[in-house]
Amino acid sequence: MKSFAVITFFSLFATQLEASMIRYEVFFREPQHHYVHVEMTLDASAGEELTLYMPVWTPGSYMIREFSRYIDMVTAQDEQDNPLTIEKTAKNTWSLAIKATGPVRVSYRVYANELTVRTNHVNIDHAMLNGAPTFLTVKGWENQVHQVRIHPYSTWKVISTALPQLENEWHRAARNYDELVDSPLEIGNHEVIHFEAAGIPHELALVGASNVNKRKLVKELTAIVDEELKLFRKEHPCERYVFILHHTDQTYGGLEHLHSSLNMVPRWNYEPREKYLQSISLLAHEYFHLWNIKRIRPVEFGPFNYNEENYSRQLWVAEGITSYYDDYFVYLAGVSSQYEYLDIVADNINKVVNTPGDTFQALSESSFDTWIKYYRQHENTQNNQVNYYTKGATVVTALNLLILNATKGKRSMDDVMRAMYERYLKNPDKGMTEAEVLRICEDIAGVPLKDFFDRHIYGKEPVDYAHYLAYAGLELKDYNKSGYYIGWSLNNREGKWMVSKVEAGSSAYEAGLNAEDEILAINGYRMSSNWEHVLFGSGVGSEVELLISRAGIVRSVKMKLLPDIRRKYRINVLEEITPLQKKIRNAWLVRSGE
C-alpha cells in the first residue's frame, strides 16, 4: 500500500515535481545539542526580491508561539557558493535579493528541545519535527510542491510521517506548504506497527518505553477507527494514516493533522482502567479530526494566515463536537461499557457546573479568546473562563438529545456530521460559517434551535442537563454529601504551604485569600500535611483563624466555613420509562449488534 501512495502522488503531481521550486535538505549534525540544520534550495530568477517567512503558530494549537525565535545562523549562497545578502525584516520574515538566475541555497539551524505536540525535539535518540517550527517558505510560493530529503543521524534507521515517499523513505514531498506544515516527522529507532483499519493501511509509531499492551491497543484502536468511518458512510479520506505516539514522563495531549496525528501520553498511563480509557480516547479524538476540522472546517481556518491570529467563534464545533465523539466512539467500539461511558458524561458535566467561569464566559467567547487565554491559564482562570473542549462536549450532548427527542429517535448529531461532511465534499475549498452550522442542525432536528444556540453557545445561561438526559430515561442525580468547602489549592514548596488557586464563592475566596499566600498556621497549629485534622469536628458556619504570610508580611485572617455547593452528579439508568424514552435511549446508547 505504501507504493500505491507513491504512485498516486507521482501520477497527480508529476508536473509540479519537475518544476518544484522549494527543496529542503535536513541534517542532524549535532543532535546532542538539540540542533537540526536545514538547507533550502530555491530556483529563482535574477532580480527577484523574495520574502521568506516562518509561521508564528501552527494549525490546531491556537496561540502565537513565535517559532522563529529558535532559528539562528541564516545564510544564503548562489550555485557557485558566493554569499548573498539575506536580511531579517520582521520577527519571522527575511528578505533575499537574487542576483542571477539559478539555484539559491538558504541555510539555517533550528534549536529543538521542546517536547510538545506543536514544537520540535531533537537529541541523540530521535528527532521529532513539526512543519511550522522547522521549515521556512517563500511568500507567494506556498502552492508549490515542497520536497524534503532527510539525512538521519548515523544510528537512526526509522522514519514515520504521512508525507508521500519519493525516491526512498528518506525523500518525501508535500503537495503544498500547508501539507508540509500539517505532516510531522518522527525519526529514530522507534517501534512501528502496521495494521489495516477502515479499509486503509495504518501505521502506529511507538516512541519510548511504556506499560501499553500493544496487541490490545491495536485491536481496540482498529475497532474505534472502523466506527468513526462508519458514521460518515463514505470512503476514507486518506490513502494511509500515521499515529505517532510518544510515551512521556508527564505530558498528555495530541494534535491533529491531515493524514496523521502526533500524540503524547504518560508512559504508565495504560493502567489503571480509567487512565487507559483516557489514553485511547485521546487517539480517538485526534482521529475524528480527520473529518471535523481537517475537512469540515470553520470558514476562518483556511486559507491559513500563518503570520497572525485566525479568530473564530467555532472551536466549540471543531473541539467540542470532537470531545463529545471521542468517548462515544470508545463506547461504540466496545472498548468501554455503558456504565463507564455514562460516568464520563457525568464527569464532564461535573467539571462544567463546578467551574465558576461557566456563568462568566460563553462558549463562543472562549473560542474567540483562545489565542490569549486557553493556553495561558493562570490562578484565576477557573473563575472567569470555560473550556470549549469540555463545555463543548456537554452542550453537544444536550443538543444531541434535543435532536433525538424532536425527531422521536430518528435523527441525531450523527446526521448533523454526515450533512456537514456532504457539504464539504461538494465544495472542499469553502469553510463553514456559523449560520450554516445552525441551519444544518435545524434541518436535521426539524425544529428551531436558535434559542438553544443563543442561550448556551453565544450566551452564558447554564444548561439544564437533567432535562435533556430525561429524554432518554436517564436521571442526573447529585450525590454531594454537603459539608463545608474551603476552595483553595495548595502547593508545598520547600516546606512552605503556598496557595496556588482560590475558587470563587468558596470559603477561602470570601475570606480574601490570594494565590501566593503562604499558610503558616490554622487555629494556632503550625501548617503541615495533616492540616485537615485540625478542622476535625468543624462544621458549616464555623470560623477558622489563619496565620498567613503575604509578600513577606505576616497577618491573621478569619475564614468562615461555607457550604459545599459543588455538584457530584452520577447518571442513573431508569427502568420504568416511556416508549419514546426507550426509543431515544436505544438510538443513542445501543451499539450495533446488540
Q: Quick check: 2 pLDDT over 80?
A: no
* Mean pLDDT for the stretch of residues 42-62: 94
* Phi, psi (rounded to 5 degrees) for 532: -65, -25
512: left (phi over 0), alpha (psi -120 to 50) or beta: left
What span, in angstroms and rounded, lies between the C-alpha atoms of 202 and 578? Answer: 44
pTM of whole model > 0.85? yes
For 222-247, how does the pLDDT look when each residue is reduced to its tens digit (9 = 90+)? 999 999 999 999 999 999 999 999 99
27: its cell numbers: 541534517
Confidence (pLDDT) at 550: 98
Confidence (pLDDT) at 262: 98
340: left (phi over 0), alpha (psi -120 to 50) or beta: alpha
Q: Quick check: 38 pLDDT over 50?
A: yes
pLDDT > 90 in the chain, percent = 93
For 472-503, how does the pLDDT look when each residue is reduced to its tens digit (9 = 90+)? 999 999 999 889 999 999 999 999 999 999 99
For 405-459, how does the pLDDT look when each residue is reduced to its tens digit (9 = 90+)? 999 999 999 999 999 999 999 999 999 999 999 999 999 999 999 999 999 999 9
The verdict on whether omega for the bond into residue 272 sits within 30 degrees of 0, i.e. cis, is yes
Instruction: Check: CB of residue 499 under 8 Å from CB of residue 517.
Output: yes
Say yes or no: do domains 2-189 and 488-560 share a fold.
Answer: no
Confidence (pLDDT) at 4: 39
Confidence of residue 16 (pLDDT cuts 50, 70, 90): low
- The domain made up of 488-560 has a fold known as Pdz3 Domain (2.30.42)
pLDDT > 70 in the chain, percent = 97
Instruction: Check: CB of residue 287 under 8 Å from CB of residue 258.
Output: no
Q: Quick check: 377 pLDDT over 60?
A: yes
Q: Quick check: 1 pLDDT over 90?
A: no
Neighbour-count burial for 58-80, b at 16+ CB within 10 Å, e otherwise: bbbbbbebebbebbeebebbbee
Confidence (pLDDT) at 12: 47
Cα angle value 230/231/236 (rounded, 5°): 55
- The domain made up of 2-189 has a fold known as Immunoglobulin-like (2.60.40)
Q: Quick check: 7 pLDDT over 50?
A: no
* Mean pLDDT for the stretch of residues 324-337: 98
For 528-560, how does the pLDDT look when each residue is reduced to its tens digit (9 = 90+)? 999 999 999 999 999 999 999 999 999 999 999
Confidence (pLDDT) at 46: 84
For 258-287, how does the pLDDT look when each residue is reduced to its tens digit (9 = 90+)? 999 999 999 999 999 999 999 999 999 999
Q: Quick check: 40 pLDDT over 60?
A: yes
Confidence of residue 3 (pLDDT cuts 50, 70, 90): very low
What sign does the dihedral 107-17-57-240 (CA atoms) show?
negative
Confidence (pLDDT) at 594: 80
Q: Where are the domains of the chain?
A: 2-189, 291-474, 488-560
* Mean pLDDT for the stretch of residues 505-534: 97
Confidence (pLDDT) at 44: 87
What mean pLDDT is reported for the chain? Answer: 95
Confidence (pLDDT) at 5: 43
Lowest-confidence region among 9-18, 152-161, 375-384, 489-498: 9-18
Domain 291-474, CATH 1.10.390.10 — does that match?
yes
